[in-house]
Structure 1
């Protein structure tokens, strides 16, 4: 089935309308990305300053009015910071408690003894796959990193060898599997069967994770050297708690936020299915407890109770230990927020509309069109969710027409959802807040992050699409 596309307008500021054409807008976007790379890699200008400066210059160049310019910048910054700061801050506190109590060492030793040194990356990746089913990418990564660092420390290996499998696992689950918002939203727009999307998502996600997480992580870690980050402190073994928590206790603390978030997801889906009363205050209270920031807050409080006495003798020392977790991650939070600012300016400038216009009247198969549109939008403005939902909206009329004429099966519709999902993850770079989060959390500079993470995301996108396309041929 071929498709002629109608551009879908992306949301921008209600106070002004973009005036530049597609060519100038795309040229400005390319120049802005190039300027960021030159400033950070070539001139060693701090990423936080660079992103703010380039966001300002981009806003001026694209014609955003001076009276709304700062508002557009702070909107993108605040929207990203509002979620990232809570997740990273609470996750760092939880990680510090687990690490300082000796729990990270206990769990790392148990994993190494159970799976062996050679299979430690696979074990971390599989654990992340399971955790990644209900929990968002950034939250899951922050919760898992203390164990990743502990295993890397015990084995004296590269953090990339153990961190990339975990990050790739959270990525594929977030991109391809309901109940994550991207595939759920795209399924709703295209009228896809959610069960089929989930089944095909698992079929696509698992081999994609193995190739782009395990194999790529092993390969690139031998090529790139990265020093162990110090976000949770470098506490010598002799200074760890003499009576560390059990493996079961540590696993319970790590899984607690996952259970709460999964409970939130289940209740929300039950309400949508009509099985529960959405007006019930008790149900809404339970759903609130499973929101990611609240789930992490509850986990930190439980960890304080369970691990507090193992970490410090008195409340003052315990408070200082927790506070020490926040200092090292401040730079990560601010840089990630600035990355969100840059992506927000690109979206507000009309870059999404420009890219959609250029992709009109392609006359190519639906499944390929969905992938290419999502890929182009991902590269242009950074947000995977915007790229996915916009691509789904653009191909929706063609999908509806093909289903009505019997040219497209339910399996084919599910494949188109996953093709757009694959495109939306392609080559995360400087306009994506996730690029800065992963790079800084793993102690990578921009050049190294481009080599390691941007390449991984490109491989993940291409391999996943190839798997989806093979299934589509039999749909």
Structure 2
């Protein structure tokens, strides 16, 4: 990236709420993040409350008036929720319809029926990647891992050999591909283009999944050998359904928002006349809100009605999908408030100013910041939002492509080395019947491989695009 002009940036952003020196601003940022880390890790406080308190500490140490700190936090919270809250809700509805209708099971059954045992790890990676597109990571694990356990038991293959590709598929999509909460929040923070980020995210995700999934799974299965625990292999949720949606209808429904958003990005590049009918149509249908809403409405028929759901059951499914995301929305919103406090205190401009003398790629810097927060807090979402807020000024003079790569660098860093302070760590440990050292050798190592490999592809793309 070329040298950035702090004067131009200052003219384009609101004036800081404090005129503290660089040393004090750096101390304020460290103090705010440290408080968040301690509250989450030591005192087990909910991330929403920790981010709220950390924002107050940040403003106080920076010397900002309390009233202005509160205003910055609430403004950032409201703006973030307004920008990504509806998208998260629509993604949750689509994921719930996919799970309850048996559509996910249809994908699993169809792919496995046409796959040899030797290619099962690749099939599990493909299944997890497809299922992981619209599903939150935790939902994907709860829905998909029992299927992995069943496949491992029936095929007699190593649980780690099959499980690592499935976990990698879910994790890669969660960290790199919108409409997952982390990438959405980062896109909003740095003002990246959704279609470009989605296209590049998929481009980075595919080879990363291949390396961290089936290939690394082969290595990890030599380190750890566990058998599928019987207590964690319940009956498949679709067994009670009279019928399932078709494979083609399920896949088309899941991929509809992706296709619409990518089509908009393609039209933006290839169509010069912004007043043309084609441009105006895709400018609307390719927006994330319209694309996801279209997929949800379609899913009510192709998934819900196809599974024999009544209108009342579809409505109940939608209701049940929204309750679990309340915590996610609060965390994402509070992360946006913390980000805005960082910006308004002048921390962002300070980092921008100082970074001009650093001989380090902005993409690598973004990755490192996300890694530190991820390892400290255990939350990929908190790491993504906080890191994106800190590096947002670096995107001011980046091209559309490099701004999207900045989002992906943050997302890659947010996946680094999941360990005992991450709920996902314990979820995987219990489902796979492993002890802590075994989980570190498999799940934690896999997350680190994803993070490093994804960064490598992001840096490679930055050289050629």
Q: Is 1:427 matched with 2:423? A: no
- Indicate if the aligned counterparts of 2:340 and 2:389 stay in contact, CA closer than 8 A: no
Residues 380-431 of structure 1: per-residue CA shift (max 9 Å, x gap): 99567677775466799xxxxxxxxxxxxxxxxx9x999967755563389x
- Indicate if the aligned counterparts of 1:244 and 1:310 stay in contact, CA closer than 8 A: yes
- Indicate if the aligned counterparts of 2:384 and 2:411 stay in contact, CA closer than 8 A: no
> Using the alignment, how far apart are the partners of 2:325 and 2:411 within structure 1?
25
Q: Give 1:214-229 correspondences, 5 Å limit.
A: 219=220
The equivalent residue for 2:152 is: none
- Indicate if the aligned counterparts of 2:164 and 2:213 stay in contact, CA closer than 8 A: no
Shift in alpha-carbon separation, 1:313–1:213, aligned structure 2, 3 A: closer
- Indicate if the aligned counterparts of 1:121 and 1:165 stay in contact, CA closer than 8 A: no
Which of these residues, 138, 143, 147, is aligned with residue 154 of structure 1? 147
- Indicate if the aligned counterparts of 2:94 and 2:299 stay in contact, CA closer than 8 A: yes
Q: Give 1:407-446 correspondences, 5 Å limit.
A: 424-425=410-411, 427-428=413-414
Q: Is 1:319 matched with 2:315? A: yes
Residues 406-464 of structure 1: per-residue CA shift (max 9 Å, x gap): xxxxxxxx9x999967755563389xxxxxxx97899689x999967984565246534
The equivalent residue for 1:459 is: 452
Gaps of 5+ in 1: 133-138, 175-179, 188-193, 228-233, 397-413, 431-437
Q: Give 1:93-242 correspondences, 5 Å limit.
A: 93-115=93-115, 122-123=122-123, 125=125, 140-142=133-135, 150-156=143-149, 162-168=166-172, 171=175, 207-212=207-212, 219=220, 237=237, 240-242=240-242
- Indicate if the aligned counterparts of 1:169 and 1:209 stay in contact, CA closer than 8 A: no
RMSD: 5.0
Higher helix content, 1 or 2: 2
Residues 198-222 of structure 1: per-residue CA shift (max 9 Å, x gap): 99x95x7654443355556785997
The equivalent residue for 1:243 is: 243
- Indicate if the aligned counterparts of 2:415 and 2:448 stay in contact, CA closer than 8 A: no
> Using the alignment, how far apart are the partners of 1:107 and 1:306 within structure 2?
14
Shift of 1:104: 1.2
Q: 214-223 vs 292-301, which deviates more?
A: 214-223
- Indicate if the aligned counterparts of 2:76 and 2:339 stay in contact, CA closer than 8 A: yes
Q: 96-105 vs 459-468, which deviates more?
A: 459-468
- Indicate if the aligned counterparts of 2:102 and 2:238 stay in contact, CA closer than 8 A: no
Shift of 1:14: 2.5
TM-score normalised according to structure 1 size: 0.66
Which of these residues, 342, 358, 361, is aligned with residue 357 of structure 2? 361
The equivalent residue for 2:265 is: 265
The equivalent residue for 2:35 is: 35
> Using the alignment, how far apart are the partners of 1:444 and 1:356 within structure 2?
39
Q: Give 1:55-94 correspondences, 5 Å limit.
A: 55-94=55-94
Shift in alpha-carbon separation, 1:3–1:326, aligned structure 2, 3 A: closer
Q: Is 1:308 matched with 2:301? A: no
> Using the alignment, how far apart are the partners of 1:391 and 1:49 within structure 2?
28
Shift in alpha-carbon separation, 1:160–1:387, aligned structure 2, 3 A: farther
> Using the alignment, how far apart are the partners of 1:186 and 1:337 within structure 2?
18
> Using the alignment, how far apart are the partners of 1:394 and 1:297 within structure 2?
32
> Using the alignment, how far apart are the partners of 1:161 and 1:349 within structure 2?
43
> Using the alignment, how far apart are the partners of 1:308 and 1:425 within structure 2?
32
> Using the alignment, how far apart are the partners of 2:72 and 2:428 within structure 1?
29
> Using the alignment, how far apart are the partners of 1:78 and 1:443 within structure 2?
31
TM-score normalised according to structure 2 size: 0.68
Residues 220-261 of structure 1: per-residue CA shift (max 9 Å, x gap): 99799xx9xxxxxx9953653211111111111112222222
Shift in alpha-carbon separation, 1:439–1:468, aligned structure 2, 3 A: farther
Shift in alpha-carbon separation, 1:110–1:461, aligned structure 2, 3 A: closer
Shift of 1:6: 5.6
SS in 2 for 1:53: helix
The alignment of Structure 1 onto Structure 2 pairs a total of residues equal to 406
Gaps of 5+ in 2: 150-158, 179-185, 374-382, 417-421, 430-435
> Using the alignment, how far apart are the partners of 2:217 and 2:207 within structure 1?
14
SS in 1 for 2:413: coil
> Using the alignment, how far apart are the partners of 1:113 and 1:327 within structure 2?
35
> Using the alignment, how far apart are the partners of 1:68 and 1:164 within structure 2?
42
Shift in alpha-carbon separation, 1:47–1:142, aligned structure 2, 3 A: same
